[in-house]
Structure 1
């Protein structure tokens, strides 16, 4: 009974916080730390992110921390690489383990690679010959546990670090999730709620904000003043997910998921995804995301698709996943993921 009461309190808290959200409106695109919104993992991306119910184990760390504890194996390791837009790459690594009587712990690192950018100035608009390399790294730690045989909860703390040449910013963001399996006593029907990127504002600082002062009468030596950078909010989101897993027969299974996402700095998103599995070995996936509140050009990404192969190597699980995602104005995204389970 205490576990059920705790579930009710957590769910009420999430829904209460969600009441603070509103459509982005004039604030669209004004949030910072948007690398938090870049998805990871081929399986989830191939279903357009409609996987806060279906993702379990280490692959659930980004989508829904509550499902970390539901993994098939006790220990996982995962690495993913994505060719993102405009020659940007996204590398992601994660490890997790289940501890009997305690729950599951997970650790993640995500790095956004932009490459070298030429340094330009007013005097040298074509470049000085020097370059700089921006750095966007997110480190996460997750705790998840079962409250009952149907209900799981999880929380993630992410340390955000951003550096652009001589200025940098550091912040912390929290994700909270709840997952309910076999909703209304229907086998295969699941429900989930996830609140992401909740935390204090971030702010840039560093010597790069020092500006040389100009003396009009040349009566003073060279001095510098420092620009006070404005603070920025995190791109918080609320996601509600519903999924149904149909076991057609011993060899064939079909999973269908849907997610509604509300953002404090963007329009509402609706995500649909499906996965067909054969002998728990070969998987085919597809998905689509649409935003009815915004015009068609606002949605950079289109249809998604992918496949996965699952091998059992004598007690060691090996999963190879690939995802393809259409992109307007840019080359399509290609995502590759390797997962090991022990």
Structure 2
């Protein structure tokens, strides 16, 4: 069992090394919509979520976290993204006991209507200049369907894999590909301190017209822990309050290293206040949000700052834990 853990860890580190070789290819990956995370809790914490993910949200962030969740969980999220693009997701997690855990994900992307322009339509119509508009419109879209499996390798390590079908319809050309995620979680045994690693969107290159583009593969390392909590606290005990702090270091295939810092305050696990910051991004930075939990139901909201040229982004999530 120990040898298996070592081999998996080695695979993750070697994959990270490959990414470090190729970061100069800025913004040259395919399926860019895969970079947009939909759920509200993670995005309100600056996407510092690799070691924090649990339940149904794990299928999007780190499939290994499924093995540390006991029960059945459903999460539905929606984001009104930039330039009339809308994205919705459904995540599902189910514990199989000694057999591990299963997960399912579906992502739907509506890119909105785009007016068709052609060079041969350029020119004047009477006294009015036509910038190439033909009067036609296209409606690009995309979707993801995936399944995950995770199980505990030891009492401290969990491992998970996701296989997903990714489809993008650009009207003039459509592409479908198979992609994979692989992750580890590690419970350090020191109070609530947890570590995690994950590779997301691993797959073959996609050819558009006469040029191939790689998948938006990302390697992430994460650490998190409760500074305040009723038990396993890192600093101070508190019966009614919990303060979680998390940090992720990410290396996307088409950009330099990016840093994510997040925090979540909880009052009696009913009211949640969250904040985060994303470092080394062109436009993104501050994130804020809150959550409410009533029995098995939960609601989460997040706000993301998006520079001076784009509107702020709002996300909404609802969840239900069956058991």
TM-score calculated relative to the size of structure 2: 0.90
Q: Where do 1:289-300 residues align within 5 Å?
A: 289-291=278-280, 299-300=282-283
SS at match of 2:49: coil
Task: Identify the residue that residue 126 of structure 2 maps to in structure 1.
Answer: none
Deviation of 1:261 after TM superposition, in Å, equals 0.7
Counterpart CA distance in 1 for 2:6 and 2:239 is: 36
Tell me, yes or no, if structure 1 residue 256 matches structure 2 residue 245: yes
Tell me, yes or no, if structure 1 residue 275 matches structure 2 residue 264: yes
Contact 1:170 1:203 in 2 (8 A): no
Counterpart CA distance in 1 for 2:21 and 2:35 is: 17
Counterpart CA distance in 2 for 1:146 and 1:69 is: 6
Task: Identify the residue that residue 233 of structure 1 maps to in structure 2.
Answer: 214
Task: Identify the residue that residue 338 of structure 1 maps to in structure 2.
Answer: 318
Task: Identify the residue that residue 15 of structure 1 maps to in structure 2.
Answer: 13
SS at match of 1:121: strand
The total of aligned residue pairs comes to 304
Task: Identify the residue that residue 147 of structure 1 maps to in structure 2.
Answer: 153
Task: Identify the residue that residue 116 of structure 2 maps to in structure 1.
Answer: 119
Counterpart CA distance in 1 for 2:155 and 2:22 is: 38
* Worse-matched range after superposition: 257-266 or 23-32: 23-32
Deviation of 1:23 after TM superposition, in Å, equals 6.1
Contact 1:66 1:144 in 2 (8 A): yes
Task: Identify the residue that residue 324 of structure 1 maps to in structure 2.
Answer: 303
Contact 1:76 1:96 in 2 (8 A): yes
Instruction: Name the larger-Rg structure.
Output: 1
Which runs of 5 or more residues in structure 2 are unaligned? 123-131, 230-236
Task: Identify the residue that residue 57 of structure 1 maps to in structure 2.
Answer: 55
SS at match of 1:129: strand
Task: Identify the residue that residue 309 of structure 1 maps to in structure 2.
Answer: 292
Q: CA RMSD in A?
A: 1.5
Task: Identify the residue that residue 109 of structure 1 maps to in structure 2.
Answer: 106
Counterpart CA distance in 1 for 2:4 and 2:191 is: 24
Deviation of 1:24 after TM superposition, in Å, equals 5.3
Higher-strand-fraction structure: 2
SS at match of 1:266: coil
